[in-house]
Amino acid sequence: MVMMVREGENFKHFFLSSVLNSQFRKMMNHDCKRYIEEYLMESGLNYTIIQPTQFMDTIPIEILAKQEHPLFNANWDPKVPFSFIALKDLGEVCAKILDEREKHYMATYALCSTGPVSYVDFMKIAGRVLRKEIKVEQRGFEDAVECFMKLLFGGDVSTSRVHPTSRDAAQRMLLFYNFRGLIGNPNVLEWLLERKPTTVEQWVSEKTNAHDGHK
- 55-59, 92-96, 165-169: segment of lowest average pLDDT: 165-169
Q: What is the CATH number of the domain that holds 56?
A: 3.40.50.720
- 7-11, 56-60, 141-145, 182-186: segment of lowest average pLDDT: 7-11
CA 109 vs CA 14, 81, 105, 106, 153: distances in Å = 14, 21, 11, 10, 28
Q: For position 11, what pLDDT does the model report?
A: 80
For residue 172, what are the domain limits? 2-212
pLDDT surpassing 90 at residue 1: no
Round to whole Å and give the CA distance between 54 and 74. Answer: 13
pLDDT tens figures, 111-142: 999 999 999 999 999 999 999 999 999 999 99
Q: For position 209, what pLDDT does the model report?
A: 86
Please state the rounded mean pLDDT for residues 198-213.
84
Residue 73: its H or E element: strand 71-74
pLDDT surpassing 60 at residue 210: no
Pairing between β-strand 2-7 and β-strand 10-17 as defined by DSSP bridges? antiparallel
Q: For position 37, what pLDDT does the model report?
A: 96
Round to whole Å and give the CA distance between 131 and 127. Answer: 5
Number of domains in the chain: 1
Q: For position 148, what pLDDT does the model report?
A: 82
Output the furthest CA–CA distance in the chain (Å, rounded): 58
In 3D space, the residue among 55, 198, 181, 54 whose CA is nearest the CA of residue 113 turns out to be 198
Average pLDDT score over the chain: 90
Q: For position 4, what pLDDT does the model report?
A: 58
pLDDT surpassing 50 at residue 215: no
pLDDT tens figures, 157-175: 665 567 788 888 889 999 9
Q: What is the pLDDT confidence band of residue 39, given thresholds at 50, 70 and 90?
A: very high
**172 and 28 Cβ atoms separated by less than 8 Å:** yes
Residue 111: its H or E element: strand 107-111
